[in-house]
Amino acid sequence: MSDTPAGSLYVVATPIGNLDDLSPRAARVLAEVAVIAAEDTRHSGRLLRHLGLSQPMLSLHEHNEASRVDALDARLVAGEDIALVSDAGTPLISDPGFVLVRALRDRGRRIVPVPGPCALVAALSAAGLPTDRFLFQGFLPAKGGSRRGRLEALAAREETLVFYESPHRIRDTLADLASTLEARRVVLARELTKTFETFLDGSAAELLARMEEDPDQARGEFVVMVAGAAERHDPDASTVEADALLTALLAEGVGVKQAASVAARLLGGAKKVWYGRLQALKDGH
């Protein structure tokens, strides 16, 4: 047995777009470790080149993670330090690394987080939805039926709901949100820290309409945040936005009963409350 103290595994967060978001500590750790385990060595190679580093790398992704554990552990036992990075953001957060970290922790190795960018935290920090309690759900299921089932199962949760989504499915997900959690306020954080960073908020149906008008809004990477059940729109509160919608419906000749259904569907609350408000607007109050 060697007397060399075991090395540490550093779990290093890397930028989600803007390279300036890499912390000085992360850069120092990447420069000092013996090897960097990366989700995609070509992708992380670009970051290393940007930092002027040429550290040895090896791939660690969902298909080889379990088979890498023993070899990486042997290097730690031999006294080498290792960094774990993913393509973007914090490893293990909808990214590889859990199998390795669990196995090494079970073997008593030292695991050190080097915190930094994480899309869900960045998105929540600027969305204006409650952050005291939130429920991160990663990616929703790819198939429509399972996706709607998952959303229905979350309908009663009071925490802000947070999902990751790709440009291929963002419209389908918004459509499913519109049909399952119809009344909620939704905030979309797109292309965080990048040139086209955008925050959009409104009901899921409104956001879908925005994407139809401007297909660029459906491009890039998304964090989808949905107000929890406790945040449902209060139809008793007189809001300019709601009144504008109701007035527009009446002006288009939509009947009071039908307009009340539309308002309840889009904004939440009971049809009869909207019916009363529509009558009042119609009567000029």
Binding site for ligand SAM (CB under 6 A): 16-17, 86, 88-90, 93-95, 118-120, 164-166, 189, 191-194, 221-223
Is 124:140 a contact under the CB 8 Å cutoff? no
User: Between β-strands 222-226 and 160-165, what pairing exists: parallel, antiparallel or unpaired?
Assistant: antiparallel
Is 144:172 a contact under the CB 8 Å cutoff? yes
Question: How far, in Å, CA of 3 to CA of 10, rounded?
Answer: 22
CB of 65 to ligand SAM, least distance (A): 14
- Residue 104, classed as helix, strand or coil, is helix
CB of 259 to ligand SAM, least distance (A): 36
CB of 257 to ligand SAM, least distance (A): 40
CB of 137 to ligand SAM, least distance (A): 11
Report residue 282 as tokens: 């119609």
Burial call 258-273: b when 16+ CB within 10 Å, e when fewer? ebbebbbbbbbbebee
Q: Which is nearer to ligand SAM, 37 or 223 (CB)?
A: 223
Q: Which is nearer to ligand SAM, 77 or 200 (CB)?
A: 200
Q: Which is nearer to ligand SAM, 161 or 192 (CB)?
A: 192
CB of 188 to ligand SAM, least distance (A): 9
Q: Which is nearer to ligand SAM, 36 or 260 (CB)?
A: 36
Q: In angstroms, how far is CA 238 from the centroid of its own chain?
A: 32
Question: How far, in Å, CA of 228 to CA of 158, rounded?
Answer: 4
CB of 239 to ligand SAM, least distance (A): 29
Bridge partners of residue 84, in order along the sequence: 11, 37
Is 48:30 a contact under the CB 8 Å cutoff? yes
Q: Which is nearer to ligand SAM, 8 or 90 (CB)?
A: 90
Is 192:16 a contact under the CB 8 Å cutoff? yes
Helix (H), strand (E) at residue 126:
helix 119-127
Q: Which is nearer to ligand SAM, 88 or 278 (CB)?
A: 88
Q: Which is nearer to ligand SAM, 72 or 225 (CB)?
A: 225
Identity of the amino acid at 260: A
Question: How far, in Å, CA of 198 to CA of 195, rounded?
Answer: 9
Q: Which is nearer to ligand SAM, 47 or 88 (CB)?
A: 88
CB of 18 to ligand SAM, least distance (A): 9
CB of 202 to ligand SAM, least distance (A): 18
Of the candidates 103, 135, 104, 233, which has an alpha carbon nearest to the alpha carbon of residue 181? 233
